């Protein structure tokens, strides 16, 4: 049984591009559906292909233009997903802070904390 690296060395540039193109489509699909757990496995498949393509000097720009467009598109989707995750993390931190109490300032500029009587549960609304 040959390992993946040996297998990549025996593929022609167009088959590498085609395989990368297919992985990029799968990556886009996973990003659009929010299946972020699949991204790591796709990245593990994508990296050796890109590394192999980078070693081929005779590639023409036109041959890579479609996959380059897809790489850019997927990067934008990934950036949006990360921004969404950061937004959720920020919102969760705000909720935790509110559960601990409310900070207010009096006329003299002194900060005072008022505890909340909320339980430790969040209300789920349908």
Instruction: Tell me phi and psi for residue 39, to 5 degrees.
Output: -65, -40
User: In the structure encoding, which two tokens stand for residue 58, read together?
Assistant: 């005779």
pLDDT band at 99 (very low <50, low <70, confident <90, very high): confident
Average pLDDT over residues 42-70: 88
The region, left, alpha or beta by phi > 0 then psi within -120 to 50, assigned to residue 103 is beta
- Whether 88 shows a pLDDT value over 50: the answer reads yes
- Give the span between the Cα atoms of 76 and 119, in whole angstroms: 40
Q: Who has greater pLDDT, 119 or 94?
A: 94
- Whether 1 shows a pLDDT value over 50: the answer reads no
Q: Who has greater pLDDT, 66 or 125?
A: 66
How much is the pTM?
0.66
Query: Number of H helices and number of E strands within the chain?
Result: 4, 2
Average pLDDT over residues 21-46: 94
User: In the structure encoding, which two tokens stand for residue 82, read together?
Assistant: 């990360």
């Amino acid at each position: 049984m040959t390992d993946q690296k040996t297998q990549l060395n025996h593929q022609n540039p167009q088959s590498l591009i085609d395989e990368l193109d297919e992985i990029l489509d799968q990556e886009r699909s996973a990003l659009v559906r929010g299946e972020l757990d699949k991204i790591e496995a796709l990245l593990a498949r994508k990296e050796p292909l890109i590394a192999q393509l980078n070693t081929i000097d005779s590639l023409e720009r036109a041959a890579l233009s479609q996959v380059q467009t897809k790489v850019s598109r997927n990067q934008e989707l990934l950036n949006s997903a990360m921004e969404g995750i950061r937004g959720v993390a920020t919102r969760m931190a705000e909720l935790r802070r509110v559960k601990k109490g409310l900070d207010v300032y009096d006329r003299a500029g002194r900060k005072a904390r008022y505890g909340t009587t909320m339980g430790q549960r969040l209300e789920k609304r349908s």
